[in-house]
Amino acid sequence: MKGGWRRALGIWFDRRALIRWSRLADQAGGLNLAQLRRLRNRAGALQRRLNRVIHTADGRLALPHIGSDAIQKPLGTDWSYRPDLWRGPLPAIGEVAVESRTRIGEQATIFHDCRISELTFRQLRNTHEDDLAPFGLRMDVFRFDGSFLSLVVDLPDGAAQGLQKRHILQLDTIVEMEKPLEIFVRLNVRHGPNTEQIVRELPIGPGTRSVEFDLAYTRLNEKRVEKVWIDLIFEDPEMNQIILRDLTVTRRPRAEM
């Protein structure tokens, strides 16, 4: 009985708050600048809390389920991975005026050389019927006075364990953008003091885009592999919105002849 009374009282307060903010919204056009600034600050504080509630609710209610490891794997795959950024909610869902070397979760980092950053990012909840990843990443780029923008994704130790020159690594991603731009993908494999690098251009087109990295053409020292990471490099990203709805990496041995 006591819990029902509290719920009823909470609903009543919520309704009064909606009525009050509706009235303030109608009055905003007639306020002086000082009053309008104070009202905006109060509305912004309320909006931040509402965004947290909506983000958490969307994350729990929408499909695919958080933490999903469903990955489309090529035949013969012996290792596969979807980074945490696309699997679960981030502690901070977004940021504005993003500086270079800004971490996004535990495995992704944004790099750029802009003097003035007009770059924002936000983690989105995927809701498309064909989405396998629970979350996506949206980057909005406005004026861009730098020469490069990249997203570096560190892969876990499992990517390096047992890695050999007979392996092919494949990156699959779903990208949406406001206007076309070139995206290059660079695979980095550190072995001892050296780092092997292979660069591929991401194909243009809708749906899943894939690039393959054949390690047979590298000078990889299989006994000294330490770390594997991937760079996504965005060419001329100014005045564009880029959404990475999914990103997965798979590994498979090359077919023996």
pLDDT band at 198 (very low <50, low <70, confident <90, very high): very high
DSSP H or E stretch at residue 15: helix 2-27
Residue 1 has pLDDT above 60, yes or no: no
Q: Which residues contact 36 (CB under 8 A, 6 or more apart)?
A: 28
Using an 8 Å Cβ cutoff, are 89 and 66 in contact? yes
| Residue 66 clears pLDDT 70, i.e. is over it | no
Query: 107: which 2 tokens?
Result: 């495995």
Q: Are 116 and 154 in contact (CB under 8 A)?
A: no
Give residue 227's identity as a one-letter amino acid code: K
Higher pLDDT, 46 or 250: 250
What is d(CA 64, CA 70) in angstroms, rounded to the nearest whole number?
9
Read off the pLDDT band of 45 (50, 70, 90). Answer: confident
Query: Could you report the per-residue pLDDT of 214-238, keeping only the tens digit for each?
Result: 999 899 999 999 999 999 999 999 9
pLDDT at 72: 83
Beta-bridge mates of residue 111: 150
Tens digit of each residue's pLDDT (9 = 90 or more) over 69-113: 678 888 899 999 999 899 888 877 888 999 999 999 889 999 999
CA distance 109 to 71: 23
Domain boundaries, the chain: 2-61, 79-253
pLDDT at 250: 96
The count of other CB atoms within 10 Å of the CB of residue 224 is 11
What values do phi and psi take at 159, rounded to 5?
A: -70, -30
Mean per-residue pLDDT, 10-31: 84
CATH classification code of 79-253:
2.60.120.260
Instruction: Tell me the mean pLDDT in the region 44-70.
Output: 70
